[in-house]
């Protein structure tokens, strides 16, 4: 049994200390540890826990992931399990002495979701559960589920994920190593409700065509997101395919064996779709080894549904477009006057707004490959010039694009004035995540005219809002260049 917990060891001492620390937990779990030794180590743990709740063996977590797991998180798991085991046997007085440290340790343990590093995530999760089982975590969660509720939820989700992995046969690590027996051992003793977790993203979603038939009595666990997949529109239903950076929105349910079999038949499991497992993020929680259905055929070009336009089937009548503004619409408040309507405080002009007054789903900076200039005499801006693009001159114009519906863009164009001398031409600037980027300007070159001060002020505010790292001098220099011949 260790006498004390030591921090900031040299490299040669780390592995040996971890072995001794593990052995100390084994002695406590087996009942072979002497009370005096246990008390001595606990006093050391209480004095060496850092402010964030960890018991690290290295000075900083800013190291390679495998080292961080081994010498930052793992000693924290062991120390927390040690305190947990003692807490279960202690009287009220001794419980109160260690309770704060135990809670902080369990909260710190959840920060890494008990995962191993990278491709070793599953192996690390199994190891972490085995450590806490030495601390009698099953009994602890039964007696004190609300002491560290985040930890309680995490362990429950991991146990459900292990159970799902065994039921689905998805028990291999990223390198193909088999963990079935290790998962069975880690799962032993947990009391789980029967059922399989599934992630749905198409016709089984709430409000979609197959939901009531298959999932009306299933337990809904929340809305979630899976990473490493893209969502594709395939006509009357969607499909997902694996990808490096894709994200897909959906819902998580727990279903019984009969319902799972029925959904397998619906999806054509084994031919049209393959049921495989993945992890799902649901707000601040995470579900592991959740079954979902991956499309087993090629997908058409341009079928990707971007994350911003999900979930599938939501408002199917709406088609989205990125509208790229480069003048006063750089400022969100100004642009929203075209969407919501009302009187603009910048020029005291009233606008009807769009029929659909839903705000943009997203906005992003964009560099437009044409020169911006100031032209025409705008009655809305004290007869000064306003921003146009010279489509015959290549340059870099700073813009801001908004994800809105095509109908909203049409109505914005009307309010901008789509008459021959104004913004009569839509120019496509490419795509972002499968959605076209469009801006509005004049098809020709309008007579140049210096802008009024109130218009320039809106441009300055919009540039600062869209490009917050730009200095006032850089903004002024940019606008002067736009006004040059």
Catalytic positions, please?
A: 267
Q: Which residue has the tokens 């399989």?
A: 196
Contacts for 413 with CB less than 8 Å, ≥ 6 apart: 423, 426, 440
The helices-and-strands tally (H runs, E runs) of the chain is: 15, 15
Is 434 exposed, middle or buried (CB count within 10 Å of its CB: 0-12, 13-18, 19+)?
A: middle
Q: Give the Cα separation of 224 and 201 in Å (integer).
A: 10
Q: Give the Cα separation of 231 and 218 in Å (integer).
A: 24
Q: Determine the distance from the C-alpha atom of residue 455 to the mean position of all C-alpha atoms in its chain, rounded to a whole number.
A: 38
**Cβ atoms of 353 and 337 closer than 8 Å:** yes
Contacts for 314 with CB less than 8 Å, ≥ 6 apart: none
Q: Give the Cα separation of 327 and 338 in Å (integer).
A: 14
Contacts for 455 with CB less than 8 Å, ≥ 6 apart: 328, 347, 378, 381, 382, 384, 385, 386
Question: How wide is the angle at C-alpha 195 spanned by C-alphas 189 and 200, nearest 5°?
Answer: 135
3-state secondary structure of 119: helix
DSSP 165-229: HHHHT--B-TTS-B-HHHHHHHHTT----S-EEEEE-STTSTTSTTHHHHHTTSEEEEEEEEEEE
């Amino acid at each position: 049994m260790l006498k004390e917990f030591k921090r900031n060891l040299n490299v040669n001492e780390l592995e040996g200390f971890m072995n001794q620390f593990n052995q100390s937990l084994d002695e406590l779990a087996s009942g072979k540890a002497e009370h005096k030794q246990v008390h001595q180590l606990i006093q050391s743990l209480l004095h060496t826990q850092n402010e964030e709740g960890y018991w690290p063996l290295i000075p900083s977590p800013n190291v390679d992931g495998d080292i961080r797991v081994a010498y930052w998180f793992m000693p924290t798991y062991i120390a927390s399990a040690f305190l947990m085991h003692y807490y279960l046997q202690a009287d009220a007085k001794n419980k109160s002495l260690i309770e704060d440290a135990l809670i902080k340790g369990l909260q710190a343990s959840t920060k890494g979701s008990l995962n191993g590093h990278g491709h070793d995530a599953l192996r690390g999760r199994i190891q972490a559960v085995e450590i806490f089982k030495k601390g009698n975590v099953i009994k602890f969660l039964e007696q004190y589920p609300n002491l560290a509720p985040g930890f309680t939820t995490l362990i429950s989700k991991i146990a459900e994920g292990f159970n799902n992995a065994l039921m689905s046969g998805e028990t291999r690590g990223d390198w193909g190593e088999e963990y079935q027996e290790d998962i069975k051992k880690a799962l032993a003793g947990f009391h789980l409700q029967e059922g399989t977790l599934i992630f749905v993203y198409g016709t089984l979603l709430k409000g979609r065509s197959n939901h009531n038939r298959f999932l009306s009595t299933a337990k809904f666990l929340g809305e979630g997101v899976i990473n490493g997949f893209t969502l594709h529109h395939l006509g009357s239903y969607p499909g997902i395919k694996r990808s490096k950076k894709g994200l897909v929105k959906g819902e998580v349910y727990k279903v019984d064996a009969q319902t799972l079999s029925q959904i397998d038949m619906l999806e054509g499991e084994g031919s049209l779709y393959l049921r495989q497992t993945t992890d799902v993020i649901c707000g601040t929680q995470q579900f592991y080894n959740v079954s979902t259905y991956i499309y087993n055929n090629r997908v058409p070009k341009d079928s990707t549904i971007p994350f911003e336009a999900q979930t599938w089937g939501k408002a199917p009548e709406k088609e989205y477009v990125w509208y790229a503004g480069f003048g006063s619409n750089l400022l969100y408040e100004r642009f929203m006057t075209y969407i919501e309507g009302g009187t603009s405080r910048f020029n005291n002009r009233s606008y009807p707004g769009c029929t659909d007054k839903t705000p943009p789903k997203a906005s992003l900076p964009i560099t437009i490959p044409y020169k911006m200039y100031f032209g025409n005499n705008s009655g809305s801006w004290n007869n000064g010039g306003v921003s146009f693009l010279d489509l015959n001159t290549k340059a870099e114009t700073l813009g801001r694009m908004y994800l809105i519906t095509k109908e909203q863009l049409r109505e914005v164009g009307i309010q901008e004035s789509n008459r021959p001398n104004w913004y009569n031409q839509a120019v496509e600037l490419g795509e972002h995540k499968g959605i076209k980027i469009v801006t509005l300007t004049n098809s020709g070159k309008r007579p140049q005219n210096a802008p009024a001060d109130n218009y320039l002020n809106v441009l300055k505010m919009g540039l600062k809002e869209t490009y917050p790292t730009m200095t006032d001098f850089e903004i002024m220099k940019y606008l002067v260049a736009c006004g040059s011949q």
